[in-house]
Structure 1
Amino acid sequence: MEIFPAIDIRGGQVVRASRTDPAAAVVYDPDPFRVAAGYAAAGARWVHVVDLDRAFGVGDQSDLVAELVKRLAIPVQLGGGLWRVQDVMTMRDFGVQRVVLGVRALEDERALRELVDCFSDDCLAMAVDAKHGNGWARDWPLAASRTAVDLAGRAGDLGVSTVVYTDLAREGALQGPNVASAVAIAQEADVQVIVSGGVATLNDLVAVRDAGLAGAVVGRALLEQRFTLEEALACCSSS
């Protein structure tokens, strides 16, 4: 499995903010470049970046993302309000290795197929955020009428074979990731699942690994030094 240390960016700073309550943001570091460089130095093979300004519809951090990609020697997985074809193309031009599409991309399946046809399988993923098993999207209320499994399955049918799954009830709560739901999505939708939200301990990562999931996004636990990235990488590479 892969560990994705997370850097959520808002207003040029590293923050923790719930997607359902953008006003409740906690600043962890004013310098995302320093945080990213620290993860790279610790052995990260990826970094997971979320542009919260774009996700919340209050601008974007495109210039910062472009500079971050330029400075880092490891690939960037980028999410946050990305579903329009041109925006995805721009991020790829910046050098972003994998774009995590917002689930609203399913609203226009023709455009999504265009993106799938343009890029290799490793370059796209789909964000599936869920509340009580159903989808959730700030900019696409129809997501709530479908289950997370249905949304992931449709993404897979259209050629997006990797899903970043977040149980919003656990996001930033340090209560452990929803491994059971992530496994159900992987099995029923036949996609690779990266689980996000709730990782608090190394045992959480071991549970993700033992469940056969593709990876885990880790944010708050690393920022608050509940364990180190080196420890996380070591425990997930051992069996």
Structure 2
Amino acid sequence: MIIYPTMEIQNGRCVTLEKGRLDEPMIWHVDPVETAKGFAASGAEWMHLTDFNAIEGDDSNDELIQDIIRGAGIPVQLGGGMRSREQVEYWIDKGAGRVVIGTLAARDPQLVQELAKHHPDQIVLSVDVFQGQVMTDGWRQSGAFTPEAYLEAFEGAPFAGIIITDIDSDVSDTEAQMGLISHLASLVKQPVIASGLVRNADDISRLKYISNISGVQVGRALFRKTISVEDALAVARPEPEPVAEFQ
């Protein structure tokens, strides 16, 4: 299982959000490029980056994001504001390892399937779930789709992965959260990346044994220091197969 250390950028600064509230960010006074390099130095093979300004149509973080892509030392999975073919291909040309598409997939599913075919292993579908509905426009608009119907509509699309975010995950019912991600992961053949579920190493341990979960995004827990990248990677490693002693 791949651990994706996750960084969220707003106005050039690292932030984390509670339930997607863009107007109430928690600001972390760290250097984004150095933080990305730290992810790689800790052993991460990928990182995830979300540009919250881009969700609002603001490209002021572009230069910083390019610096992170060039300087991180590991591939960057980039999301935020991918609302057109041009925007997606712009970031692929700028070196993003993968581009994450959310709202555009709800508005123009045919285009997104075409992009996935034209850019193998580089297009990731984002499915954000709140109270049983798929959300779009930076978690502010209900798309009037159930996640089950939405995933079914993209059955067979050659995505590099599907990120499933449980926006309700701030609630304390861990079993309900794990039940949702397990259910949705069972419906698709594409690799699933779980987001919004990790607070500590125990959560990674639970996700590790859910079928078809290929990766986990870990963001807020890293900044709050309830888990380190090294610890997350250690928990995610497959358990060695038992070997019978030779008699």
* TM-score, normalised relative to structure 2: 0.87
The answer for the alignment partner of 1:190 in structure 2 is 189
- Equivalent pair of 2:134/2:143 in contact (CA under 8 Å): yes
Aligned-partner Cα distance in 2 for 1:165–1:26 = 22
Shift of 1:90: 0.6
SS of the residue aligned with 1:81? coil
Aligned-pair identity in percent equals: 27
In our comparison, the structure showing a higher alpha carbon Rg is 2
Q: Deviations over 1:58-79 (max 9, x none)?
A: 4442221111111122110011
- Equivalent pair of 2:164/2:181 in contact (CA under 8 Å): yes
Instruction: Identify if the C-alpha distance between structure 1 residues 140 and 22 changes in structure 2 by more than 3 Å, giving closer, same or farther.
Output: closer
* Uncovered stretches (5+) of structure 2, i.e. residues with no partner: 240-247
The answer for the alignment partner of 1:73 in structure 2 is 73
Shift of 1:157: 3.7
Aligned-residue Cα RMSD (Å) equals 2.2
Instruction: Identify if the C-alpha distance between structure 1 residues 71 and 2 changes in structure 2 by more than 3 Å, giving closer, same or farther.
Output: same
Aligned-partner Cα distance in 2 for 1:237–1:139 = 32
Q: Deviations over 1:174-209 (max 9, x none)?
A: 875922212211212333211111311111001111
Aligned-partner Cα distance in 2 for 1:58–1:91 = 15
Aligned-partner Cα distance in 2 for 1:141–1:16 = 17
Q: Deviations over 1:88-143 (max 9, x none)?
A: 001001110111111432321332233122111x2111110011121011269875
Amino acid at match of 1:181: L
Shift of 1:153: 2.5
Aligned-partner Cα distance in 2 for 1:141–1:34 = 31
Amino acid at match of 1:208: L
Aligned-partner Cα distance in 2 for 1:25–1:219 = 13
Amino acid at match of 1:202: A
Q: Deviations over 1:142-169 (max 9, x none)?
A: 7531111222232334433621011111
Higher share of residues assigned helix: 1
* Uncovered stretches (5+) of structure 1, i.e. residues with no partner: none
Instruction: Identify if the C-alpha distance between structure 1 residues 181 and 222 changes in structure 2 by more than 3 Å, giving closer, same or farther.
Output: same
- Is 1:160 the counterpart of 2:159? The answer is yes
Aligned-partner Cα distance in 2 for 1:118–1:202 = 37
The answer for the alignment partner of 1:133 in structure 2 is 132
The worse-fitting range, judged by mean Cα deviation, of 137-146 and 109-118 is 137-146
Aligned-partner Cα distance in 1 for 2:49–2:17 = 13
Equivalent residues in 2 for 1:1-239, closer than 5 Å: 1-18=1-18, 20-120=20-120, 122-138=121-137, 143-160=142-159, 162-170=161-169, 176=174, 178-212=177-211, 213-239=213-239
The worse-fitting range, judged by mean Cα deviation, of 228-237 and 173-182 is 173-182
SS of the residue aligned with 1:232? helix
The worse-fitting range, judged by mean Cα deviation, of 187-196 and 122-131 is 187-196
The worse-fitting range, judged by mean Cα deviation, of 131-140 and 208-217 is 131-140
Shift of 1:228: 1.3
Q: How many equivalent pairs are there?
A: 237
- Equivalent pair of 1:12/1:30 in contact (CA under 8 Å): no
SS of the residue aligned with 2:127? strand
The worse-fitting range, judged by mean Cα deviation, of 220-229 and 147-156 is 147-156
The worse-fitting range, judged by mean Cα deviation, of 24-33 and 51-60 is 51-60
Amino acid at match of 1:192: P
* TM-score, normalised relative to structure 1: 0.90
SS of the residue aligned with 1:145? coil
Aligned-partner Cα distance in 1 for 2:199–2:18 = 16
The answer for the alignment partner of 2:243 in structure 1 is none
Aligned-partner Cα distance in 1 for 2:137–2:157 = 22
Aligned-partner Cα distance in 1 for 2:82–2:22 = 17
Aligned-partner Cα distance in 2 for 1:52–1:196 = 16
- Equivalent pair of 1:84/1:105 in contact (CA under 8 Å): no
